[in-house]
Structures are given as C-alpha cells and as structure tokens.
Amino acid sequence: MSSDDGLGIVTLELRGAFRQPGCPICRVKQTTADRYILHLLWENVNDFTTRLHLVRGLGFCPEHTWQVYHTEVERFGDGLGTSIIYEHLTRLIVGGLLGFEASLPV
C-alpha cells in the first residue's frame, strides 16, 4: 500500500495501535478525536471556516461536546472556548426559532 492512496498515515497509526492492548481502531479513533479537539481549542475557536462547519452541523454530538469541554478544563483550566462556540450556536438557534415563530399564522 502506497502513501499516495490516502491511507498512508492511517496505516502507520494502525500499526502503532496494534502494538498496544485493546482495539486498534478504537485507539486510532480516540487519538484522532483528542488531537482534533486540542487543535480546535488551541487554534480554531474563533476561526471563521471552522465555526461555519460547526454551525452547519449544529455543533458536536453530546459525547464530543462533553469531550471538548472536559479537555478544555483539564488543559486550560476553564471552558471559555467551549462557551464561545456554544453561545454562538445558541444565538443562531434561538434566532431561527424566533423567525419561525414570527412566520406562524396568528
């Protein structure tokens, strides 16, 4: 398998995960999620493109929302980044609901 097929890094990560106990796929999945969340919190909380993707998907699933929060508290001592992201989402959702309510017939 060559690295040109897009699986090179995944193959390397799986090979490393096979050397450790437990399911290698779960290990790679968790490691990737941990890495992404840390990068999000460190670099991309206020990044427009990242925020646009989060808004379109209405944030993360409950499991990963809590993982973002707990990672932030453990690494940075607060939940400011998580709050910034979800305050933005909450405002958009409330605005959408108010717009929907205003469009209902009386």
What does the pLDDT look like over 73-101, one tens digit per residue?
999 999 999 999 999 999 999 999 988 88
pLDDT at residue 7 above 80?
A: no
Mean pLDDT for the chain overall: 89
Q: Whole-model pTM?
A: 0.75
What is the reported pLDDT for 6? 62
Span 22-49, average pLDDT: 92
Which of 32, 27, 30, 33 lies closest to 14, judged by CA?
Answer: 27
With the CA atoms of 99, 44, 25 and 30 taken in that order, what torsion angle do they form, in degrees rounded to the nearest 10? -90
Q: How confident is the model at residue 104 (pLDDT cuts 50, 70, 90)?
A: confident
